[in-house]
Structure 1
Amino acid sequence: MHMEALASALDSAYVFVAAILVISMQAGFALLEAGSTRMKNAGHVAGKQIISFAITGIFFWVAGFAITFGDGNGFVGLKGWMLHLGGAEADQVFSSLSWAHVPLDLKFLFQMAFAAVSLAIAWGGFAERAKLSVYFVFGILFTVAIYPVIGHWVWGGGWLAKMGMQDFAGSTVVHLQGAVAALIATLLLGPRIGKFTRDGKPNLIPGHNQVYSVLGVIILWVGWFGFNAGSTMAIGDGFFSYVALTTNLATAAGAIAAMLIAWFVLGKADIPSMLNGVLAALVAITAACAFVEPWAAVVIGAIAGIITFFTSLYFERKGVDDPVFAFSVHGIAGIWGTISTGFFASPRLVEKVGVGQAGLFYGGGWHQLYVQVVGALGAMLYVAAVSFAILYLLKVTMGLRVTPEEEITGLDLSEHGVYGYPEHLDPAENPAFTSETVSAKAAGHAYERTI
């Protein structure tokens, strides 16, 4: 009994550290997205990460965790609202998590951090033109009506879990969900002012701080070890270290592949393309990290980096203004990562994890690939339908988008009243600017110099 208690304590400490790493990814998203957007929106874009995490912290506790992991039917969990339970009773209500020998409160903290990441991804599609009020309403509904449903299907004992879907840490549950919601928001909001010419050709709207973007990606890369390796929720057998290995190999391959393909196609070693390659590889290996051999992790990561580069260009040319390329990075790579286990899942690792079957390249036949495709398609259809219903209703009632004047002024001022870089507003040049008020006309003139 003493050894069991010690093992549980060590696992709990490990999961707590992993949860902190996943939570730290919010800082990564703040830097990445603020650096990848314009100066006039930097404070707003960074600040919404706090709002995202706060909304998830409350509403995943109220209902999201119960719907995801509570015992219920094949579609939703129906027990465990607000974590009223503890001890042995918790394992009876949250039987889908009973394999992890850590306290229920810690299981919640870890999984809440995952839900917050998914919402942060979704909000990427709203960037630089959505009302702050829309973030609140959609964030709450995403946390209780979208994310937990797919989570239950895959991780909570739902119908995809019964089919044996392999998604170890959330290529579909976390990333594909957030990406599809981001795409729907992007389409309903429409492109940013000035993004496309009258004949539909895209204009470059570069981010204002590439160093911020790089630092954000480094933070995300480190935080992802909590995301993937932490999903073992145990340290006793050392399997977490293997998951960390495959995660890092895939990520390194994605960075190199994306940089090289951008260099070849564009003639320049494009840094944003490299950063997208890093993130795409991380997204792709998230599902497969516990199921594939190291060589396969390298292949999965490299392919993710390459396809994300080309799909980013494709969607932009088709008139989709996705400011942080959320759908290409988290959606396309999420699909690839999800179906990749259908090809590469190793028999020895499938036996170790105890989910699904070996992949096609190991003589496992087409079954696992079929399951993975069904899972990805099912998730996409549900998230797209519910996101569209919510956002369309918001569009025709409260409206999704700020006014053109507010968009030109920038959301730092129009939504928060404070510019993220106040020294760039010169009162001598703009007499209407004081510490209390900024006229839209003066602010718009000042921002023309800073875009």
Structure 2
Amino acid sequence: MASKVNSSTATPDGVDNGIKGPVTWDDATWILTSAFIIFTMQSGFGMVESGVVASRNTVNIMVKNVVDVVFGGITYWMFGYALSFGQGPYSNPFCGVGDFFVDTDGEDMGLVYATFVFQLSFATTATTIVSGAMAERTNLTAYIVFSLLNTIVYCIPAHWVWGSNGFLAQLGAVDFAGSGVVHLVGACSGLVATLMLKPRTGRYAPGQQWPSLVNPVNAIMGTFMLWWGWLAFNCGSTFGISGGKWMLASKAAFTTLIASMAGGITGTLVSYLSKRGKYDVGYLINSILGSLVAITASCPLVRSYEAVIIGMVGALCTLGCCRLMDRLQIDDPVCAVAIHGASGLWGLLAVGLFVEDDNLEDLTKNRNGLLKGGGFYLLGIQVLTIVCEVSWSMLTTFLMLLLIDNTLGLRVSLEEERLGADFCEHGLRITTLRLSQLLNNPSASHNPLNSRTNPSASHSPLNSRSNLLEASSSEEVLDDRPRKERNGFRPRSRSVSWFDSNPSLGSVQEINIYGDHVRERTLVKTAIKQNVKGSKKSPSTSSAATSPPSKLGNTKRRAVKGSRLENVANIPAQEIQDGSRNDRISDDLIPPSVLPL
């Protein structure tokens, strides 16, 4: 039998610095193990977000997840834990006081440190939710400052609901693992942030179609990482396995899986019906995550069929909120507000409807939900919890971001947004190629491809495709120039490689090669279609344009080692022109309106 530690420090109502009830050695092991698994959810969030944002911002979005832990974690150690679970003489129903700069070497060392590590994983998750809503247009320095301050936004509601003398806890509010404290609070902060930042440039421009997922594989892998992390998130919130806690943990795991399965099925059906037989990956991912958020508040307190209902409704809330925000032109790149906000709100309401009295650990304080004969009291308390958490998080986030915006500047400049945060914030190099030159005028005297182009070759953009592939892998044709010569391009750190533009070509389209991946393959198809159409009307165009060859070039060339553009030379010309093979060359479309001209 496990021996108890620090049982003498438990408060009269059974809450001890965030841990419910006496703690045993086995309980401490359970808490720490769960915390370690929850910590890996940062990787899951990063993978999901990197699957949604443009490739020129993928490194930056991963760095922000690191920032959440590094800077948000240090402020949680300094004062966040104290405001949530401080047990000093000045603690009150609004906030805790005591245990600032957490440190102890007494008999309660194991209890305090285990609790801190577990609660830290929750605090960093709340901040990570906000980073997704702010993606692709936020100044990293400003975001670092926000991560330092966002601890205040999370830790006060945590005290209200989970603190020993929090006023919502005393009223009987139930939020088992944080549908409201973690997810709803984070989503409300994200909503304020995205409203203040405004949409990404060109996001809602007329006629523009933005992809819902840029890298579906990353997003799916991230979903699986979050899925298994969520099991620790919910099961670990029993704060142990002694007594009846292990039974609650088992039930939490069971209902979490059931709800997420129901949510995934719901998203699949909605996608099939609304997309005319297509199974949209984004619908599936968002539905699963939304159902996980919804069940988090009540996972050990509801029956299996109720978990199915909670998961299905959570998925529908997520998908509906995504559609609503899109219509209102509220730009949330990763649907963080819909997933964590709409589903978190529903999760809190579901507690007031479905939960029944817990006779193991008395989590509901002898109260039942409305549908279990408990009347409207618990549902009313849950509504009050929603109002308090939404009001607090939105107000404090607005004040913080307003202060940051007026001092550091919250949003990056237009030039930096076009070039991408990976280059401007981290100095990671991208190569810019002017497609209109390579496809429309490959033998112009000023074109750096002269030495590589046959002067007698046709000017057909189809034949010029080979030139693009060859130029893409050649560093010697690039021309680095000082920042002052870049005609308005002023990234913070270093100039970008580029080709001189031909003024006679009119508007200029471009393709960026980033590391081993080509960012804009759709523009390749667009440029070819436009130029082929024009060549048919031009009397000077060679016969090659009117009678294009069946293949784009006779040889295979690799644009960049490992690039998915490497096989484009073997795609029949007609399939590129009519778009029937768009999947082979289109990934991560960035509308021309956001490109530097």
The one-letter code of the counterpart of 2:73 is G
Residue aligning to 1:371: 381
Matched, 1:57 2:73: yes
Matched, 1:153 2:153: no
* Correspondence for 1:213 among 215, 219, 222: 219
Q: Distance in 1 between matches of 2:220 and 2:481?
A: 33
* Correspondence for 2:475 among 427, 431, 434: 427
Q: Distance in 2 between matches of 1:76 and 1:4?
A: 28
1:271-420 mapped onto 2 (5 Å cutoff): 271-348=281-358, 352-355=362-365, 357-419=367-429
Q: Distance in 2 between matches of 1:206 and 1:40?
A: 16
1:53-132 mapped onto 2 (5 Å cutoff): 53-71=69-87, 72-85=91-104, 87=106, 103-132=111-140
CA gap 1:441/1:257 in 2 versus in 1, 3 angstroms: same
How far apart are 1:347 and its partner, in Å?
2.5
Kindly indicate whether the alpha-carbon contact (under 8 Å) linking 2:168 and 2:385 is maintained by their aligned counterparts in 1.
Answer: yes
Q: Distance in 2 between matches of 1:33 and 1:54?
A: 19
Kindly indicate whether the alpha-carbon contact (under 8 Å) linking 1:166 and 1:356 is maintained by their aligned counterparts in 2.
Answer: no
What SS does the corresponding residue of 1:287 show, helix, strand or coil?
Answer: coil
The one-letter code of the counterpart of 1:52 is D
CA gap 1:80/1:263 in 2 versus in 1, 3 angstroms: same
How far apart are 1:139 and its partner, in Å?
0.7
The one-letter code of the counterpart of 1:449 is E
Structure label with greater radius of gyration: 2
Moved more, 59-68 or 348-357: 348-357
Residues 124-162 of structure 1: CA distance to partner in whole angstroms, max 9, x if unpaired? 11100000011111111111x211111111111311111
Kindly indicate whether the alpha-carbon contact (under 8 Å) linking 1:39 and 1:421 is maintained by their aligned counterparts in 2.
Answer: no
Matched, 1:135 2:143: yes
Matched, 1:247 2:256: yes
Kindly indicate whether the alpha-carbon contact (under 8 Å) linking 1:290 and 1:353 is maintained by their aligned counterparts in 2.
Answer: no
How far apart are 1:88 and its partner, in Å?
6.0
Q: Distance in 1 between matches of 2:397 and 2:74?
A: 20
Matched, 1:166 2:174: yes
Matched, 1:193 2:209: no
Q: Distance in 1 between matches of 2:107 and 2:131?
A: 38
Q: Distance in 1 between matches of 2:180 and 2:292?
A: 13
* Correspondence for 2:37 among 21, 25, 46: 21
Q: Distance in 1 between matches of 2:208 and 2:121?
A: 35
Kindly indicate whether the alpha-carbon contact (under 8 Å) linking 2:189 and 2:393 is maintained by their aligned counterparts in 1.
Answer: yes
For the aligned residue pairs, the C-alpha RMSD in angstroms reads: 2.5
Residue aligning to 2:463: none
What SS does the corresponding residue of 1:74 show, helix, strand or coil?
Answer: coil
The one-letter code of the counterpart of 2:139 is K
Q: TM-score scaled by structure 1?
A: 0.90
Kindly indicate whether the alpha-carbon contact (under 8 Å) linking 1:125 and 1:186 is maintained by their aligned counterparts in 2.
Answer: yes
Q: Distance in 1 between matches of 2:369 and 2:179?
A: 17
Residue aligning to 1:94: none
What SS does the corresponding residue of 1:81 show, helix, strand or coil?
Answer: coil
Q: Distance in 2 between matches of 1:357 and 1:382?
A: 26
What SS does the corresponding residue of 1:288 show, helix, strand or coil?
Answer: coil
Task: Decide which structure has greater helix share.
Answer: 1
Matched, 1:449 2:520: yes
How far apart are 1:371 and its partner, in Å?
0.4
Identity across the alignment (%): 33
1:231-246 mapped onto 2 (5 Å cutoff): 231-236=237-242, 237=244, 238=246, 239-246=248-255
Q: Distance in 2 between matches of 1:272 and 1:174?
A: 23
The one-letter code of the counterpart of 2:181 is V
CA gap 1:63/1:351 in 2 versus in 1, 3 angstroms: closer
Q: Distance in 2 between matches of 1:332 and 1:393?
A: 27
Kindly indicate whether the alpha-carbon contact (under 8 Å) linking 2:261 and 2:288 is maintained by their aligned counterparts in 1.
Answer: yes
The one-letter code of the counterpart of 2:72 is T
How far apart are 1:358 and its partner, in Å?
0.6
Kindly indicate whether the alpha-carbon contact (under 8 Å) linking 1:164 and 1:371 is maintained by their aligned counterparts in 2.
Answer: yes
* Correspondence for 1:256 among 265, 270, 281: 265
Kindly indicate whether the alpha-carbon contact (under 8 Å) linking 2:138 and 2:410 is maintained by their aligned counterparts in 1.
Answer: yes
How far apart are 1:266 and its partner, in Å?
2.3
Q: Distance in 2 between matches of 1:180 and 1:218?
A: 25
Kindly indicate whether the alpha-carbon contact (under 8 Å) linking 1:432 and 1:438 is maintained by their aligned counterparts in 2.
Answer: no
Q: TM-score scaled by structure 2?
A: 0.69
Residue aligning to 1:95: none
How far apart are 1:393 and its partner, in Å?
1.9
Unmatched runs of 5 consecutive residues or more in structure 2? 6-22, 433-471, 483-492, 500-508, 513-518, 522-587, 589-597
Residue aligning to 2:228: 222
CA gap 1:10/1:426 in 2 versus in 1, 3 angstroms: farther
Kindly indicate whether the alpha-carbon contact (under 8 Å) linking 1:171 and 1:337 is maintained by their aligned counterparts in 2.
Answer: yes
CA gap 1:402/1:302 in 2 versus in 1, 3 angstroms: same
Residue aligning to 2:591: none
Q: Distance in 1 between matches of 2:86 and 2:325?
A: 38
Specify which structure has the bigger relative contact order, considering alpha-carbon pairs within 8 angstroms and separated by 6 or more residues.
1
Q: Distance in 2 between matches of 1:433 and 1:75?
A: 58
Q: Distance in 2 between matches of 1:115 and 1:317?
A: 31
Question: What number of residue pairs does the alignment pair up?
Answer: 434
Kindly indicate whether the alpha-carbon contact (under 8 Å) linking 1:40 and 1:419 is maintained by their aligned counterparts in 2.
Answer: no
Kindly indicate whether the alpha-carbon contact (under 8 Å) linking 2:51 and 2:219 is maintained by their aligned counterparts in 1.
Answer: yes
The one-letter code of the counterpart of 1:126 is M
Q: Distance in 2 between matches of 1:276 and 1:183?
A: 17
